[in-house]
Structure 1
């Protein structure tokens, strides 16, 4: 099959350049769906053959190679499954979670935490491939670089962009010289296999500001101003009369004392639209207060309504469980959760029952980005954190129970 049927022009150019230069590190970074991982998976296979040849010159018959991913799940979905499906291979892992491919012993390590050091300390690697590199623990990343001391070892990285002060950008991408460190930047438009309709739809549903800059254009940028830039009170506030009745209800819980605590009741309609139905926010209240709030919610919406709670106060989560509230630890990924909420605002699919919220009205405009860290400022976020916990966990965590009665 012709190469232009297998690879985009950007991918073909990078593959060609990868064979012409003796680089040490190649960083493919940029937009989502731009073709980075597909390219790097194939570069990984090319590098295994190269590692085998270099090791034989070193007198090593079974060289080791490092394959890093943030978790077992991302390793399987981003790399292993893709390679097996594309090349009809059946990768067999040994009892250590590693595998041999084309005569190279591939050592897997999970870079998302310091525990990833255990599997690679002391080894000599003939190369490495690190998926989602910005999510890697820096100590693990640095150790991988040190381990790549075999003859001709090279390191492949791919990642979506983060804030401009991230160590990967400052220490590596900004120092790329095109020789030892090669950095290739991708935008969504580099993937000419994507049809225009898909690209237009992706742009339409991607939240404005930092998410568009990073996800579409692949830029390393910090957010400026309000986090939820697509919120429009004329579009997103509704009245009680506009609230559908056939909603699936669920709650988000953000514990607090000096900071405000908050419980929100959310509802999802069959068409996927989500509604903030009730806000409960208070300062300097003990757990008994929140138990009473939750009890009132279960009286209105039923005992099976789930509470997705901040795990930072496990004793409070345990108290809710003892009270027989259907309580789960919330999925707390900050940027992913914010993106989920922001996407709903962008798509006109998140609505606020205006008469039932107070603190939300202040926070929605005062919840802003920290330019230095790329994270939101930890102020004016109590109700919005509860909303994030509820929405993100409902979408990506445990299933909720459908209830067809609202207690308003």
Structure 2
């Protein structure tokens, strides 16, 4: 099995040394930590005692399938062993080397109840930092068979995260071994791929995902924002449009029109905004819908998709009833959305037209919450964020459309 892949010395060493009760592989994306941990886990499955359950844990069943069972089932990665991995998509059990393995999604604290009453001998945890701390504590309590172990992987997070403070920083006190991986620890990556991957992560995420550092989220969220570089007075001809809407009642409602220019850049081309606090009047869902529709008609623009704040169910229903085309729930993963927007700004791919005054006011002041950082959480301050949220909805929801533009020769000029 170990002859299938070109493994680095660090990978081989971690596999050989993974004998502690808690084993953690942490570091950069695509650094080789997952393959090493999966190989170590397969060896542990082959040697696991007959009593006690074998468990695989992830944020959801879908992430377990994608991050664990898809690579395990790939003969190019695991050779003949891949034929001994059996899992039906959507099933909560699998067969690995003849042993039944139980799959548990742990998206929130309520998942802790799924562990109560069971006895486990071996566990594999995908993306440890994404799990609730209470769940991991309960998992360790369930690993009560003599010689029981948990093998876990994770990308870095805040240095105040519970996994860092409670476990990695206390390795000398616990029966725990950990290995830190950088991107250059993976011998199978080409230089072109490494360069492309590095271009997709900027700022905070570059430090964590590329350098593998546990660093705090602090200061401005979009610290690459530069008025001289990012604000434009004129727009090129546009080939496509999308609309992002952040809905508010007592807070502002903002609609940001995102366009793809003929120069292969993204532009926040226009903005409609109603702040009920400054206007001293709230609008109904029907009034918001009518006014946004009229604003688009004035510009003779029909967006391909309109991405709406997922929490705004009544407003979304109103848009549907009024016949707005292409209504979709925005992808509202906040941190991934911020990362997408930061990448587009940092690369020079995204510019903002000077008419988007609400957005221009919010972008420089949008900041990380220091109180959340002290708790090991990454969370922006929820203040003056309506237009930046609307922009994030549009940019992140179409990330698959513009990410290929990052690989063009000159990052600051997509067409070179």
Name the TM tier (shorter chain). Answer: 0.7 to 0.9
Q: Does 1:36 align with 2:29?
A: no
Normalised TM-score (structure 1): 0.86
Query: 1:38 and 1:104 mapped to 2: Cα distance?
Result: 20
Q: Does 1:260 align with 2:264?
A: no
- Structure 1 pair 187/395, CA: closer, same or farther in 2 (3 Å)? same
Query: 1:303 and 1:369 mapped to 2: Cα distance?
Result: 35
- Structure 1 pair 225/94, CA: closer, same or farther in 2 (3 Å)? closer
Tell me the residue number matched to 1:153. Answer: 148
Q: Does 1:243 align with 2:260?
A: no
Tell me the residue number matched to 1:401. Answer: none
- Structure 1 pair 244/303, CA: closer, same or farther in 2 (3 Å)? closer
Per the alignment, in what secondary structure is the counterpart of residue 6 of structure 1?
coil
Tell me the residue number matched to 2:407. Answer: none
Shift of 1:363: 1.1
- Structure 1 pair 36/297, CA: closer, same or farther in 2 (3 Å)? farther
User: Contact 2:241–2:302 (CA<8 Å) still a contact in 1?
Assistant: no
User: Contact 1:98–1:107 (CA<8 Å) still a contact in 2?
Assistant: yes
User: Contact 2:61–2:90 (CA<8 Å) still a contact in 1?
Assistant: no
Q: Does 1:393 align with 2:397?
A: yes
User: Contact 2:15–2:37 (CA<8 Å) still a contact in 1?
Assistant: no
Tell me the residue number matched to 1:234. Answer: 228
Tell me the residue number matched to 2:56. Answer: 67
Per the alignment, in what secondary structure is the counterpart of residue 54 of structure 2?
strand
Tell me the residue number matched to 1:50. Answer: 47
Q: 1:168 aligned to 141, 163, 171, which one?
A: 163
Q: Does 1:380 align with 2:384?
A: yes
| 1:3-402 alignment, distance < 5 Å | 6-18=6-18, 22-51=19-48, 54-55=49-50, 60=51, 63-85=52-74, 86-87=77-78, 88-89=82-83, 90-93=85-88, 97-114=92-109, 116-117=111-112, 119-177=114-172, 180-208=175-203, 210-240=204-234, 242-246=235-239, 248-269=240-261, 273-284=265-276, 285-286=282-283, 287-299=285-297, 300-301=299-300, 305-325=304-324, 326-354=326-354, 356-371=355-370, 372=373, 373-395=377-399
Q: CA RMSD in A?
A: 2.5
Count of aligned positions: 382
Which shows bigger deviation, 343-352 or 86-95?
A: 86-95
Query: 1:185 and 1:2 mapped to 2: Cα distance?
Result: 20
- Structure 1 pair 194/78, CA: closer, same or farther in 2 (3 Å)? same
Deviations 1:6-25 (A, max 9, x none): 2112111211222xxx4111
Query: 1:141 and 1:272 mapped to 2: Cα distance?
Result: 45
Consecutive unaligned residues of structure 2, counting only runs of 5 or more, are 277-281, 402-416
Shift of 1:369: 1.4
Shift of 1:106: 0.4
Consecutive unaligned residues of structure 1, counting only runs of 5 or more, are 398-408
Shift of 1:117: 4.0
Per the alignment, in what secondary structure is the counterpart of residue 41 of structure 2?
helix
